[in-house]
Chain A
Amino acid sequence: MRARTPRLVLATLWLGVPALLCVLALFINLGRDSGWLRRPERVVTLERRLAALEADLDSDVPVGVWSDGPNMEAHFLAQYALAPRLLDTAAQAPALLLAVTAPDGHGPGAPYRLRRDYGGGLRLYVRAPR
């Protein structure tokens, strides 16, 4: 029995210490990451833009893309909403044009007029009739 006790204590330490450290590690990380405690505003905004885009692009009209600088987030979002149609950078005078610009960027100008501004540099333009 005496021989067993130190072995039991050692085995408990061998296993218990790393096991408790593992439990602690997960809880420390959960505590540090506040993202899961509330819905992040950025995600809410993205999903709102996605829903609006999907509603507006729900047709087979070809959609072109116009950009005056890199805005990957808006670009990815637009293509995600548009799938399986492709954002066509080479489209000639498309009826709908998605402008992917810096958040305070400018649109393509005539003959396009703004239909909706989704925010974050993403805007939908329609070609004005001649």
Chain B
Amino acid sequence: VSAAVLAIMVPWVLGSALFLLASPAAWRSWGLWPAVGAGLGLGLGGLLCSWWLFLVGPPGAGYFTVEASITGVSLLALWRRRDRLMAAPVPAPESSLTLAGLWWPLFVVACLWLVLESAYHAHGGWDAWAIWNLRARFLFRAPEHWQLALSPVLSWSHPDYPLLLPSMVLRGWRLAGNDTTAVPVMVAGMYTFGAVALVRGAVGALRGSTQGNLAGLIMLANYAFLKHGASQFADVELAYFILTAVALMVLAQPHRGMRISLLLLAGLALGLAAWTKNEGQLFALLCLVAWPVSAWRHAGIRSALRVTAGLLLGAAPGLLAVAWLRLASSTESDLLNARTMAALWQHLTDPQRYLIIAEAFGRELAGLGSGILIIVLLYGWWVGREPARDRDPALHAGAWVLSLLLAGYFCVYLITPHDLHWHLGTSLSRLLLQAWPAAVFLWLMALRVPQ
């Protein structure tokens, strides 16, 4: 357990230092930078571990020395710029209606629940057994032959899926020296509550702590999200990276010539999303098109080029890892293959499929988090939109990306070679949860704050 804690803490410090170097003004937003640092740092650790495995071999003392050195250098750089941290604006005092009295007890209850749930299901839910922890076991037990995890013999476990989550677990297991279930449990917990805390922290930093606490409560109210986190599914990690990319882009305000360092971190989040799940690759692609187009429309071609360069540079390590895996793996995707292409026209011209998918989307959205979406929409209708935010291009671009992501999922269901009802029933609720934290963030950013 102590190794698992160490495996979490070092990347947490690294991620926090990188974020504060990019955005020193966030220093006094105590709810924001630890939440960004936790997931981004852990993801970066997993990505480094993947590359080490590909290029050097099993990550051992050499790997951990390099990781600790990078963390040390980041901390040193932060220390040298401490005057910028100290110059960060002090948040304005708010009224007593901060909802903190509800947020903190509920947060503690949810944490305790996750600990208990994880103790009962230490190996996670079914997908964790069959895909993510299975892959991590291959990487840990035979790191010299990690390609075994991609064998076509394991076709039922999606060998084409990216390796970020198994790499994060591998990193912890190498540090612990055994494949303790404490590591995947802690990784899952970090991303589940990292996403909750990041929505709260980002909304709190930009719209005030009252709205931030409400955002946190909305996140905790979605039991399905917590449950998927405890099940150690990669969808929660992906949800975190989608949220981080969207939140960093809103923070970066690329249309106002913000520093490139935040764009690099947003790009890193895109690369991590792509290296987490195939759906993350679609998200990264959409962002790499939508954000530059938005910057071009609102601030000209120079701004668009700057955004493109920043995002691509940040995303490169993750995107290259995806390309590396594609070359190393001979297994084709179960969704995009010759069989799918042969039936493509037949599926696309079948109106019944459109109806079935649309009905499933409607049903799942209405029931999302036991109806929490309806509460959130009613709240928005009640308080109304913030006029100043209507013209915020960063919010618009974020909303477009999420809408196109869902449209992309709709199209994948259209062409799926699997039984449509089975495929929708086993995956749609998880796919919607991937977009949930970012959607809550954008929604609460766009609404008025009751004064």
Distance in angstroms between the alpha carbons of A20 and B126 in the assembled complex: 33
- Contacts A21-B375, A86-B153; A15 near B210 (Cβ below 8 A): yes
What interface size band does chain B fall in? Answer: 35 or more
Verify A43–B221 contact, CB threshold 8 A: no
Set A33, A47, A72, A86: member contacting B148, Cβ < 8 A: A86
* Shortest distance from the beta carbon of A19 to any chain B beta carbon, whole Å: 5
The residue from B99, B123, B220 contacting A15, defined by CB atoms under 8 A apart:
B99
* Mask of A80-94 contacts with B, CB within 8 angstroms, 1/0: 100110111100000
Instruction: Flag if B223 contacts A30 (CB, 8 Å).
Output: yes
- Chain A: minimal CB distance from B422 (Å): 13
Nearest CB of B to A24, in Å: 8
Shortest Cβ distance from B220 into A: residue: A26
Interface centre among A40, A46, A79 (most CB of B within 10 A): A79
Please classify how large the interface on chain A is, using the bins under 10, 10 to 19, 20 to 34, 35 or more.
35 or more
A33 to B153, Cβ gap below 8 A? no
Q: How far is the CA of A89 from the CA of B217 in the complex (A)?
A: 50
* Contact yes or no, A84 B120, CB < 8 A: no
Report how many A-B pairs have Cβ atoms within 8 Å: 117
For residue B301, CB closer than 8 A to chain A, the reply is no
A84/B138 in contact, CB under 8 A: yes
The answer to whether the Cβ of A7 comes within 8 Å of any Cβ in the partner chain is: yes
Bound-state Cα–Cα, A89 to B156, Å: 13
Instruction: Flag whether A22 is at the interface (Cβ < 8 A).
Output: yes
**In the complex, what distance in Å separates the CA atom of A113 from the CA atom of B327?**
42
Contacts of B133 in A (CB 8 A): 80
Q: Bound complex: CA of A75 vs CA of B222, how far in Å?
A: 33
| Chain B 96-113 interface residues, beta-carbon cutoff 8 Å to A | 97, 99, 102, 106, 109-110, 113
Report yes or no: B120 in contact with A77, Cβ–Cβ below 8 A: no
The closest CB in chain A to the CB of B152 belongs to A86
- Give A56-89 interface residues, CB cut-off 8 Å to B: 72, 75-77, 79-80, 83-84, 86-89
Q: Are B153 and A88 in contact (CB under 8 A)?
A: yes
Report B212-228 CB contacts with A as 1/0, cut-off 8 Å.
Answer: 01100110111100010
For chain A, residues 9 to 55, give those with C-beta under 8 angstroms from any C-beta of chain B: 10-12, 14-15, 18-23, 25-26, 28-30, 33, 35-36, 38-40, 43, 46-47, 50
A19 touches B129 (CB 8 A): no
Interface pair A29/B370, CB less than 8 Å apart:
yes
A19 with B120, Cβ < 8 A, contacts A26-B106, A77-B129 known: no
The answer to whether A18 and B450 touch across the interface, beta carbons within 8 angstroms, is no
Q: Which residue of B113, B121, B151 is within 8 Å of A30 (Cβ)?
A: B113
Q: Which residue of A lies closest to B145 (CB)?
A: A84
Contact B130 A43 (CB under 8 A): no
Interface residues of B in 269-308 (CB under 8 A from A): none
Beta-carbon contact of B217 and A23 below 8 Å = yes
Q: Which residues of B contact A43 (CB under 8 A)?
A: 120-121
Residue of A22, A25, A43, A83 with most partner-chain B CB within 10 A: A22
- CB of B120 within 8 A of CB of A22, answer no
B97 touches A22 (CB 8 A): no
Measured in the bound complex, the distance between the Cα atoms of B125 and A76 in whole Å is 12
Contact in complex: B379, A18 (CB < 8 Å): yes
Cα–Cα distance between A12 and B451 once the two chains are bound (Å): 9
User: Which chain A positions have C-beta within 8 A of B137?
Assistant: 80, 83-84
Contact assessment for B375 and A25 in the assembled complex, using a CB-CB cutoff below 8 Å: yes
Asked whether any CB of chain A lies closer than 8 Å to the CB of B142, the reply is yes
Pairwise interchain contact B113-A47, C-beta atoms closer than 8 A: no
Q: Are B153 and A28 in contact (CB under 8 A)?
A: no
Bound CA–CA A22/B149 (angstroms): 41
Contacts of A38 in B (CB 8 A): 120
Report how far A89 CA is from B223 CA in the complex, Å.
40
Tell me the nearest residue of chain A to B146, going by C-beta.
A84
Bound-state Cα–Cα, A36 to B117, Å: 5
Cβ-closest chain A residue relative to B126 = A76
Cβ of B369 < 8 Å from any Cβ of A?
yes
Among residues of A, the one whose C-beta sits closest to the C-beta of B103 is A19
Point out the residue from A18, A26, A40, A80 that lies within 8 Å of B109, measured CB to CB.
Answer: A26
Q: List 15 A-B contacts (CB under 8 A).
A: A11-B95, A11-B450, A18-B217, A21-B375, A23-B102, A23-B217, A25-B372, A25-B375, A26-B109, A35-B120, A36-B116, A47-B122, A75-B156, A80-B133, A83-B137
Chain A interface (Cβ < 8 Å from any Cβ of B) = 7, 10-12, 14-15, 18-23, 25-26, 28-30, 33, 35-36, 38-40, 43, 46-47, 50, 72, 75-77, 79-80, 83-84, 86-89
7 shortest interchain CB distances as A-B pairs: A29-B223, A84-B142, A22-B221, A14-B450, A83-B137, A22-B217, A25-B221
Given contacts A19-B102, A22-B372, A76-B130, 5 further A-B contacts (CB under 8 A): A15-B97, A15-B214, A23-B102, A25-B370, A33-B227
